[in-house]
Amino acid sequence: MSTTTASPLRPRVTTAPDGAGPGPGPAPWWASAVVYQVYPRSFADSDGDGVGDLRGITSRLDHLVDLGVDVVWLSPVYASPQDDNGYDISDYRAVDPTFGTLEDLEELTDALHARGMKLVMDLVVNHTSDEHPWFVESRTSPSSAKRDWYWWRGPREGMEGGAPGAEPTNWRSAFSGPAWSLDEASGEYYLHLFSRKQPDLNWENPDVRAAVHEMMRWWLDRGVDGFRMDVINMVSKDVAADGSLPDGRDADPRTGLAGGGEHYLCGPRIHEYLAEMHAEVFAGRPEALLTVGEMPGVTVADAQRFTDPASAEVDMVFQFEHVDLDHDGSKWHPVPLDLLALKASSGRWQAGLAERGWNSLYWNNHDQPRIVSRWGDDSPEHRAASARCLGTLLHLHRGTPYVYQGEEIGMANFPWASAEQLRDIESVNHLAEEVGHGGDPAEVLSRVAVSSRDNARTPVQWDASPSAGFTTGEPWIAVNPDHARGWTVADQADDPTSVLAHYRRLVALRHDWPVVALGDFTMLVPEHEQVYAFTRRLEGEGPDGAPAADELLVVANVGSSPVDLTDLLPEAVAGPGRDLELVLGTVPGDGGGDDADVAADPVLAPWEARVLRRG
């Protein structure tokens, strides 16, 4: 089985019909693209200061070419005090010196374009840094010309500013504590759904929106190919005509705080704002661009409207339904994944966006723990197989897959031993809050260790050298010690059985087989607790222009024990009257058999996945 070409087999359908994608016409380029997310602090350090940077990324582009990805999504590199690792921006048109210069970014952009890849920047405009000149001016006084660029409110009726519970609403910040902070000088509070150094912009103010649009056009004019829009469904708040904002329901009796999301997730003017942004920034531009909106709490119905091309809002959204499935009320109370729940959720999103709109597909990003540790099995025996299995499942769904740096080599969660090792503001604040409420530090750490965003942020493991080839300096966050045990790019690059080799095949399969990008999705055995199976079907034209059809059957064993398909899913086992060919398998040749044997073997090995083509 070759390491780069997806499969010795060739697709029957080489041309998809119009309407097979998100809308009526020909499918857009990004419907068959694969996006690779780079978290610049942890990708590659070129100057030995222990923090990744732009020149480090440019120096490692061959790895992305080798993987075959089409787009790089770059997490923020803008000027920032780094309170939330760059998601707190103090200048949208400058690169933070930690990461380099505008020239370095231009060099990266050109280098990507020269290799046929595109660059999508992170757009963080629900909030700025409190060190952004807009907020600095807004804070000067209640009569500041930019006061209404942010959310300023006086203390709760009848209460003294600074008193417990005097915040204008009972909303909780995502990083613990109230979502309002008092400005002593004016006696007013400002809203920050994230850290107190990330004040929310007031999108009710048309000047704010115009300034954002202008900044976006500035980046597109510099050759950027699109935006990943940070918590973009939070920019419309449920404000009353008198300017008041409502309390959230179900407040936590310990703190009196509530999420409040019902008052700012997909708020009353969100579609108006996104349609206006599209008209002001993207409409009429000749470039082939991509936009994806990160939208916590978004539903299938919302996503249908957001991503329907007729809406002219965004191309796709990041939804959170699946990554909240193993949370008992909060991410800090992790529970084992129920595969039935995952299949039900994926099935809903696949069906919901089958006719109109488009899905993004992801297991990992810089906010989620590593999937092989989370839903796979990162024990030495099963780690590689479960990484290949989970990758296959994700990449064979209908939608645009996102590969997060390190996922392609099966990187796992870090063995956190002490709170001092943590860097993420969300994790650090939560740990302090829980211990402050009397929690046992070791017990709290054990839960934070499972869900912390820092699991995604340990340096990429390029080789087995002391700092995994990430830096010649002292890394800003610890390198996972397993880099000395083969979990590196160098160890896997020339190994056809590696996780990396398999991710290359998955990317190639999506490029070579239109049915993978555009085929209809049908879930199979939804009731089975260990087998995840579905079909993908596409009718179109063959190489000769004649009508043709391709139907793939994907079957995966999402567990560490073998599964027999004989009775469960006989149609997935090749045999008399069941013409099935193996397009791609995850058990690379070590069965000694050829592809036909694999297709005819009724037993799925632990974490084995097969992509079969029906005759």
Catalytic residues: 230, 294
367 is a site residue for ligand TEU (CB under 6 A): yes
Residues 514 and 540: beta-carbon distance below 8 Å? yes
Environment class of 507 (CB within 10 Å of its CB; exposed 0-12, middle 13-18, buried 19+): buried
331 is a site residue for ligand TEU (CB under 6 A): yes
Closest CB 365 distance from ligand TEU, rounded Å:
7
Residues 128 and 198: beta-carbon distance below 8 Å? yes
Q: How open is the CA angle 197-201-205, to the nearest 5 degrees?
A: 160
Cα radius of gyration (the chain)? 24
Nearer to ligand TEU, 124 or 468 (CB): 124
Residues 117-156 that bind ligand TEU (CB under 6 A): 124
Closest CB 79 distance from ligand TEU, rounded Å:
15
Among 370, 453, 536, 613, which residue interacts with ligand TEU (rule: CB under 6 A)? 453
Count the residues of the shown chain that bind ligand TEU, applying the rule CB under 6 A.
Answer: 14
Residues 461 and 409: beta-carbon distance below 8 Å? yes
| Farthest CA pair distance, the chain | 81
517 is a site residue for ligand TEU (CB under 6 A): no
As beta bridge partners, residue 555 has 533, 610
Q: Which residue is nearest to ligand TEU (CB)?
A: 87
608 is a site residue for ligand TEU (CB under 6 A): no
Burial 370-380 (b: 16+ CB within 10 A, else e): bbbbbbbbbee
Nearer to ligand TEU, 318 or 470 (CB): 318
334 is a site residue for ligand TEU (CB under 6 A): no
Residues 409 and 489: beta-carbon distance below 8 Å? yes
Nearer to ligand TEU, 72 or 573 (CB): 72
Nearer to ligand TEU, 27 or 477 (CB): 477
Nearer to ligand TEU, 374 or 453 (CB): 453
Among 246, 256, 296, 352, which residue interacts with ligand TEU (rule: CB under 6 A)? 296
Backbone angles phi, psi at 438, to 5 degrees: 95, 5
Q: How open is the CA angle 44-45-46, to the nearest 5 degrees?
A: 115
430 is a site residue for ligand TEU (CB under 6 A): no
Closest CB 189 distance from ligand TEU, rounded Å:
19
Residues 45 and 63: beta-carbon distance below 8 Å? no
Among 33, 64, 72, 174, which residue interacts with ligand TEU (rule: CB under 6 A)? 174
**Which amino acid would we find at residue 468?**
A
Closest CB 537 distance from ligand TEU, rounded Å:
34
Those residues whose C-beta lies under 8 Å from the C-beta of residue 604, and which sit 6 or more positions away, are 531, 555, 556, 557, 562, 563, 564, 565, 610
194 is a site residue for ligand TEU (CB under 6 A): yes
Cα separation, 267 vs 260, in Å, equals: 11
Among 39, 43, 87, 476, which residue interacts with ligand TEU (rule: CB under 6 A)? 87
Among 45, 70, 83, 84, which residue interacts with ligand TEU (rule: CB under 6 A)? 84
Residues that bind ligand TEU (CB under 6 A): 84, 87, 124, 174, 194, 230-231, 294, 296, 331, 366-367, 426, 453
